[in-house]
Amino acid sequence: QSALTQPASVSGSPGQSITISCTESSSDVDDYDYVSWYQQHPGKAPKLIIYHVTNRPSGVSIRFSGSKSGNTASLTISGLQAEDEADYYCSSFTTTSHWVFGGGTKLTV
Amino acid sequence: QITLNESGPTLVKPTQTVTLTCLFSGFSLSSDEVGVGWIRQPPGKALEWLALIYWDDDKVYSPSLKNRLTIAKATSQNQIVLIMTNMEPVDTATYYCVYRRALLFGEGDVGFDPWGQGILVTVSS
C-alpha cells in the first residue's frame, strides 16, 4: 500500500483547470517538502514536470503548477489541452532517504 | 544531453536471477551528488522505486525489496547494473533507469530526470 494516495481518475474539458491531489499517510514522508510529479503518456517513460513541490524543470509548460497544504500536495493543470491526457504520479523523498510513489491518476481531457 | 539506455533479458524463468544494465551518457557518475537508479512499473500499474546509487558509491534500496537487490556501478564504462534475485511472475514489469542530478544549495530532492525508455522483463516459465 502506497504511502501517497491519489485519486484514480480526474477529467476536464479543454481550456479548463484541474487539480490532482496527493495525500501522504506515512510518517516516513516527513515535512512533505520533497514532492515531485511525473507525467506518463501511454507506452512512454514518465517525465518529470514538478520537483520540490513547486519547481518546474526547464521546458515544462507554465500551465503545470504544484502546491502543498498540510499533508496534501497538489498538481494543477490550467488551460487543459488534449495532449495533457496522461497518467500522473506524485512521488516523495522520505526521511529514510527512499522514494515512494502514489498510485497514479488518469487524466481524461 | 543526458541519455540512459536499459538492456538485459526480456524473459526470465521463476526463481532465476536477472541482471539489468543501464548505459548512460552526458554525465559522469563521478560528479558530486549525482545518482542513478531504477524504477519499475508492472503492466497497467503504478511506479515503484527500487534502488539508487550515488557518485560516492553509497547505495539505497527499497525496504521491501532490499534483500533481493544489488545495485553497482562501473564508472569507467558509464554503466550501472541492477541484480535482482529470485524473480517471480509478480516481478514482471518495465524497468526504468533514471538520473538524479546534483542538488543545489537548499534543495532536498529534485526528482528523476531524465528516464530511460525502459525494458520490459517478463517472468514466466
Which chain B residues have a beta carbon less than 8 Å from that of A52?
107-111
- What is the rounded CA–CA span in Å between residue A80 and residue A76? 10
What single letter denotes the amino acid at residue A24? E
- C-alpha cell recorded at residue A10: 480526474
- What is the rounded CA–CA span in Å between residue A28 and residue A66? 21
Question: Would you call B60 an interface residue with chain A, using a CB distance cutoff of 8 Å?
Answer: yes
* Residue A103, number of CB atoms within 10 A of its CB: 17
- C-alpha cell recorded at residue A89: 504520479
| Helical residues (DSSP H) of A1-109, grouped into ranges | none
Question: Would you call A101 an interface residue with chain B, using a CB distance cutoff of 8 Å?
Answer: yes
The nearest CA of chain B is from the CA of A14 a distance in Å of: 26
Maximal C-alpha separation, chain A: 40
pLDDT, tens digit, 9 for 90 and up, residues A32-75: 578 999 999 999 999 999 999 999 999 999 999 999 998 899 99
How would you write the pLDDT of chain B (125 residues) with one tens digit per residue? 999 999 999 999 999 999 999 999 999 898 888 999 999 999 999 999 999 999 999 999 999 999 999 999 976 779 999 999 999 999 999 999 999 998 888 777 899 999 999 999 999 99
Question: Would you call A36 an interface residue with chain B, using a CB distance cutoff of 8 Å?
Answer: yes
What DSSP character marks residue B76? Answer: G
What's the average model confidence in pLDDT over A18-45?
A: 85
CA closest to A54 among chain B residues? B110
Question: Would you call A46 an interface residue with chain B, using a CB distance cutoff of 8 Å?
Answer: yes
